[in-house]
Amino acid sequence: MSKRHTKIKIAAFSLSDQMHFAHRLSLLLKSGISMSEALSMMQNMENCVPRKHIYDELLKSIQQGISLSKSIRNSGIRFNGLLVSLIQNGESTGSLSETLLQAYSYLEKRNEMKKKLITSLLYPMFIIFATIAMTLFLVLYIFPKIIPLLSSLDIKLPLITRIVQGVYYFSLSYGLLVSGCILVLIVATNILIAKSVYVKSRFHRTIISLPLLSSSVKTYLMSSVCRMGEIFLSSGKSVPDFLLFTQQSTSNIVYKIAFGEIYEETIQGVSLSVSIKKRRDLFPLLLSEMSALGEKTGNLAQMLGHCSRIFDQDIDDSLKRFSSLIEPTLMVLMGLIVGSVALSIILPVYEITNHLTK
């Protein structure tokens, strides 16, 4: 299979498309029709040509007696790991429509959370961009026009003007060099993170240890893990199966190592709550307490679901607090930066006016 064809497949089946795939297939199977009929109907309703080809491949594979989960893996489509795992589990337990609906619910919640996060960052990013653009306009376009006049007069410039003048000359002399160094540093850092497990581990450890972001990052990760655990355990999977899948699907190296250790401990008979409690620097106390309660009552899946909803609410509250705090802070910062640059231009003009009237 060519690389171009593989890229088309990946692009043709985005996460949103996979959500719709799971939802529609769940509803069609629940109505009592066969898998082949359901895929054929979905293919006929599809308008995108690349996705039509994907449905055609899946349909041919199903008609040859191959399971849906294996057909997806053989097709080369990059499906969400949880979705494929739940499809496989649903096929083995005979509850494919229910597991597909669970997977759709999980993916939808994750997608909504990402949208909320992006939305909460849009306004701050706009303010930062506008501040930088306005500052650069004043410093690099307006300020140079008054420099010849300032140089021709024998007056002492205000401190703020001298600072902006120094920034302007520095930008002319070393601006490209500094920008190039920053770009090289970013690229080199990304390469090191991608190539070196140690560097990636230290980077991920730093992310979850930052004073202001640590709690929010851990809450977001735990919300996803708990929701995944609820789906896995309620669909008949065991705790070790859930831990093994979580270890494989987690991108954070620190948590990947932690889940691997917890998996080994669980295999040896240690309870999930005890293993989590030993790692208080990574897992919230709520998770270990709710896990212990779930193990005691035999409702671990339900307790993990409660944890996921609590963490989701915490994330919503954090995003609201972030938005309410960051907006006025950025507005004040923007006023200080742009106002300072504007003053560096206005004050010399005032000094020149006084100099000429004397």
326: pLDDT strictly greater than 50: yes
Region of residue 236 (phi > 0: left; psi between -120 and 50: alpha; otherwise: beta) = left
For the cut 90, the answer to whether the pLDDT of residue 183 exceeds it is yes
The C-alpha atoms of residue 194 and residue 190 are separated, in whole angstroms, by: 6
Query: Please, how many CA atoms are within 13 Å of residue 186, restricted to the half-sphere of its CB?
Result: 6
Q: How far, CA to CA in Å, does 2 sit from each of 55, 61, 70, 144, 199?
A: 19, 20, 21, 55, 33
Token pair 């640059």: residue: 341
Model confidence over 202-211: pLDDT tens digits?
888 888 887 7
What pLDDT does residue 74 have?
81
> What local confidence, expressed as pLDDT, does residue 263 receive?
92
| Model confidence pTM above 0.75 | no
Give φ, ψ of 109 to 5 degrees: -65, -40
Q: What pLDDT is recorded for position 262?
A: 93
Q: Where in the chain is the domain with CATH 1.20.81.30?
A: 95-358
Write the pLDDT tens digit of every residue in 271-281: 999 999 888 88
Whether the pLDDT of residue 348 is over 80: the answer is no
Q: What class is the 95-358 domain?
A: mainly alpha
Q: Is the dihedral of CA 285, 286, 289, 295 positive or negative?
A: negative
